[in-house]
Chains A and B, each alone.
Chain A
Amino acid sequence: DGGITQSPKYLFRKEGQNVTLSCEQNLNHDAMYWYRQDPGQGLRLIYYSQIVNDFQKGDIAEGYSVSREKKESFPLTVTSAQKNPTAFYLCASSPRGAGSSYNEQFFGPGTRLTVL
């Protein structure tokens, strides 16, 4: 079945540690996205990538980094510079990036990160 997988589902880290969240898709989508979700808030965009080897900052990129070496993979690293990293992180993909208003985004199941 085609879809988006995120691992792990739950992640714990100590303050000062970097941690990498995995996102893989087999939908052959060009664009991929990382969102952060906090209680009572909508989703906020962290980074997005429209093609391999290219990515752009979203609204809240500080303290995060990404890479896009393969079309199907878009890992997110939460660095120690992120002041409040405890949140639910959602990865998404879409067939094309900007330029089409009809494209919906498909979401993975999410990773809940807790900083101890």
Chain B
Amino acid sequence: GDSVTQMEGPVTLSEEAFLTINCTYTATGYPSLFWYVQYPGEGLQLLLKATKADDKGSNKGFEATYRKETTSFHLEKGSVQVSDSAVYFCALKVSNDYKLSFGAGTTVTVRA
């Protein structure tokens, strides 16, 4: 079945540090890939997405590139801020399926 594996947290960083969260996937079809972010006590918000190989999604300084050859969609940000503290979820959806398959989430804490 379809599944997503993302690096375990928690991850603690200082402001202006570089952030990478690894995400790899297994899919029976050709998936679209997503990163969602969840701030404390809130629902999920879409951070970025990519729908085909070599696409790069970007938003709010975050980037992720759809790598079909390595089945990966790693999230990166060059200089994090305290406001980036949140839980980040990698997810996939294949075209003939109704649901998103989520990774377990990675908790990121940025300290001033």
Q: Which residues of A contact B (CB under 8 A)?
A: 4, 6, 31, 33, 40-43, 45, 48, 50, 56, 58, 90, 92, 97-110
B95, A33: Cβ atoms closer than 8 Å: no
B99, A45: Cβ atoms closer than 8 Å: yes
B32, A102: Cβ atoms closer than 8 Å: yes
Known contacts A41-B104, A101-B32; A107/B98 CB under 8 A: no
Main secondary structure of the interface of A (DSSP, over half): loop
Main secondary structure of the interface of B (DSSP, over half): loop
Shortest CB–CB separation between residue B94 and chain A, in angstroms? 6
Q: Which residues of B contact A (CB under 8 A)?
A: 4, 29-32, 34, 36, 41-46, 49, 51, 89, 93-100, 102-105
Contact partner, A108, options B41, B43, B98, Cβ 8 Å:
B43
Shortest CB–CB separation between residue A99 and chain B, in angstroms? 7
**A residues in contact with B103, CB < 8 Å:** 42
Known contacts A90-B44, A104-B34, A109-B42; A99/B102 CB under 8 A: no
B51, A110: Cβ atoms closer than 8 Å: no
**B residues in contact with A110, CB < 8 Å:** 41-43
A98, B98: Cβ atoms closer than 8 Å: yes
